[in-house]
Structure 1
Amino acid sequence: MKKRWGTILQIAATYIGTVVGAGFASGKEIVEFFTVYGLVGLIGILVSGMLFIWIGTKMMLLSHRIGAYSYEELNTYIFGEMVGKVINVLTLLILFGVTSVMLSGTGSIFEEQLGFSYQWGILFTLILCYAVMIKGLDGILAVNSLVVPMMLFFSFLIATSLLGHHDFSHVFQKEEAQVTWKSLVSPFAYVAFNLAMAQAVLVPLGKEIKDESVLKWGGFWGGIGLCCMLISYHLALSSLPNVAQFNVPIAEVLEDFGSFIHILFLIVVYGEIFTTLIGNVFGISRKMQKFFVISEKWMIVGILLLSFLISQIGFGSLLGFLYPLFGYTGLLLLFCIAVKQ
């Protein structure tokens, strides 16, 4: 029984760690999708939580039932041979693009927050990523089991520290709570984009786990964890006036919390980026092994080097160009998984 629950928690942690990335960590992603809509945004978070539980779990169960080795096989099963090929190419571009964004993000943390070189930050991350990736899925599960509890603790710390010290009436202000088409679409777009990336890990994870009930509970608690983190960040960010103007709004919330919280914040941000990074590299590696007959170690080296070259474009430029494209692809995936029997 203990081993079963240990596996469930590992799946939940891996789900959370794969979804949470640089945009979540900075708070900017949450502001744009939810916080700017006040109370409607909070309702949108609850909808997102239900979608994460439903669609994320279903993705793993479908992968388990068809024995999908990589996201390519799941997409072919969902969309058919012809459309599946197009989706797989787009998904590969998504994974490479987001991997480069995450890598660029780690360089920015080292440069802006620690005063080290941007390139040294990326190099450190590449070495650490390789060390984890040669362990395969076990390495990803182990890292997420370590990092995700820190993320959850940090979210809980933010929420409890702010309760009683801030006025959250901003969340419920009438002008901020108007229902618009953007506010209605936001939870679906948010989940779609994140699951388009998460399938790189969730699909092989679904195949590896033999017990469907373990997958169901892992998906359930993973979705619950994501929803709770979103709510805590949303409430914290809602305490800021003109929150949309900040590039890293969560840093503004933590400004007066002292050096310990600042250091913890940097560790959590780096961990959030790193878990998404290794998940993407794992998914790309699974895909590319079908086309190139080389050892997995050299495959990982090649993927990391190519991602390094793309990351030189810069964090902001990559984010602005790639993320809208990923969102549209994700919406199609979300809909098709929802209706697939």
Structure 2
Amino acid sequence: MKWKKSFQLASVYVGTIVGAGFATGREIVEFFSQYGLYGLIGIIIAGLCFIWFGVKIMLLAIRLEAKSFHQLNLYMFGPYITPIINVIMFIMLLGVSAVMLSGSGSVFEEQLLLPKQLGVFVTIFLTLIVLTIGTSGLVLVNSFVVPVLITFCLMLAYLSFQLPEFWPNVMFAERFTFGVISSGFAYAAFNISLATAVLVPAANEIGDEKVVKWGGILGGAALTIILIASHVTLVQLPGVTNYHIPMAVMMETLAPIVYLIYIFIIYGEIFTSVIGNVYGLERFIRKGTSGGSLVIATCILAVAYCISIVDYSTLLSTLYPLFGYISLAFLLILVIK
């Protein structure tokens, strides 16, 4: 039973991080694949951070009996700085939710040839339904979608390995820069700080240190495997930086028979990340207001929708690196504590 809970927690961890940018491949290109071979160095750094910091955050949540990331921040930053940190994290979660919504619209528009706004509104509607179910709904969706996504990523990596130019493409490397190292830390910091909104209440609800420790290890290891598999696939695509959804392009090229299924898996991952972010925001806001959960979630999604009108790639390439370097301070304080 404990192992089952660890796997479920690992699925929630992966599902919260693997969102619009990760599943589409755009986020991986932005932080790693543009560096060619050196991108693997950044991925290893990010993977180790996912395991170590993920475990530490959840253990802290249990020991502090923290039910939201606000209580964790209060311990880490103190009563005077915490309100500022909470505002920054709130803005980041809201910004990423907007990127996710925009990404869901891009999937409908570019891959399914349907109106972008239809994709956005469908995502909002489904998110509100799952949120009314509660944490069990989040676990249920992630427990199905995450294993399927990992399977598809590994399959794409295997098919890429069969390409005649596989090794020359993987071994291709731009000139080594400090950006390779900083990207690994920034990517991990950005995603871990956002995942805190979900990991803290989830760990508190489980309340078993051994379960959350293995959940963090399994989740971090799974994220590393997906990153490596996606990276070796994406470097096979000429002009990879020019595509909004490069992983879908590779799937259409290498395995067109399951292309449509993969599109729905990408959408499923975008969907789970929207749920995770809005769930964390709703839990945070609810402590300071008397409004109902559904009303709060609707307001959050309404604001995120307004931001999501901006182009998906523009939002991602602007907000994600910015949020990543801001989040480095979060990891630094966590190390000190």
Q: 1:120 to 1:245 in 2, by over 3 A?
A: closer
Partners of 1:256 and 1:145 lie apart in 2 by 28
Q: Find 2:95's aligned residue among 83, 97, 118.
A: 97
What amino acid is aligned across from residue 110 of structure 1 in structure 2?
F
Pick which of 221-230 and 288-297 moved more.
288-297
Q: Structure 1 residue 50: deviation in Å?
A: 1.0
* 1:51 pairs with one of 49, 52, 58: 49
Pairwise CA RMSD of aligned residues? Answer: 1.7
Query: How far apart are 1:276 and its partner, in Å?
Result: 0.9
**Worse overlay, 320-329 or 110-119:** 320-329
Instruction: Give the CA deviation at 1:258.
Output: 4.7
Identify the residue that residue 170 of structure 2 maps to in structure 1. Answer: 171
Deviation per CA, 1:31-79, whole angstroms, max 9, x where unpaired? Answer: 2222222332212212211110001111111111111111111111111
1:237–1:142: structure 2 CA closer, same or farther, 3 Å change rule? same
Alpha carbons of structure 1 residues 236 and 321: separation in structure 2 relative to 1, 3 Å: closer
Q: Which amino acid aligns with 2:268?
A: G
1:13 aligned residue: 11
- Deviation, 1:115, is 2.1
8 Å Cα contact 1:100-1:311 kept in structure 2: yes
Report what 2:35 is aligned to: 37
Per-residue deviation at 1:177? Answer: 5.9
Change (3 A) 1:40 1:319: closer
Per-residue deviation, residues 152-189 of structure 1 (Å, max 9, x unmatched): 1111111122223242223224xx16431111211101
Closer, same or farther: CA 238–258 of 1 in aligned 2, 3 Å? closer
Aligned to 1:201: 198
Which residues of 2 match residues 1-341 of structure 1 at below 5 A?
A: 3-166=1-164, 167-173=166-172, 176=173, 178-340=175-337
**Greater CA deviation, 225-234 or 130-139?**
130-139
Distance (whole Å) between structure 2 residues aligned to residue 4 and residue 219 of structure 1:
13
Length-normalised TM-score, structure 1? 0.93
**Contact 1:168-1:238 within 8 A present in 2 as well:** no
- Mapped to 2, the partners of 1:243 and 1:305 lie a distance apart of 33
SS in 2 for 1:119: helix
The CA deviation at 1:322 is 2.5
* CA–CA separation in structure 1 for the residues paired with 2:313 and 2:226: 24
Could you tell me how far 1:16 is from its partner in structure 2?
Answer: 0.4
Three-state SS of the structure 2 residue aligned to 1:111 is helix
- Secondary structure in structure 2 of the residue aligned to 1:69: coil
Cα distance in 1 for partners of 2:25, 2:157 equals 14
Check the 8 A contact 2:10/2:216 in 1, yes or no: yes
Aligned equivalents of 1:288, 1:103: Cα separation in 2 = 20
How far apart are 1:104 and its partner, in Å? 1.6
> Structure 1, residues 234-280: CA drift from partner, whole Å, max 9, x if none?
11112233433333322332232354321122112101111110010
Residues 320 and 33 (structure 1), Cα distance of their counterparts in 2 relative to 1, 3 Å cut: closer
Compute the TM-score of the two structures, normalised by the length of structure 2: 0.94
Distance (Å, rounded) in 1 between the aligned partners of 2:93 and 2:257 = 34
| Aligned positions, number | 336
- Structure 2: unaligned runs, 5 residues or longer: none
Between the aligned residues of both structures, percent identity stands at 43
Aligned-partner Cα distance in 1 for 2:302–2:244: 28
Stretch deviating more after TM superposition (227-236 or 101-110): 101-110
**Quick one: structure 1 residues 243 and 315, their matched pair in 2 at CA, closer, same or farther if it must change by over 3 Å?**
closer
Q: Structure 1 CA distance, aligned partners of 2:191 and 2:332?
A: 14
Letter matched to residue 337 of structure 1: L
**Aligned partner of residue 255 in structure 1, secondary structure:** helix
1:222 deviates by 0.2
Q: What is the rounded CA distance, in whole Å, between the counterparts of 2:29 and 2:312 in structure 1?
A: 18
C-alpha distance in 2 between matches for 1:306 and 1:221 = 34
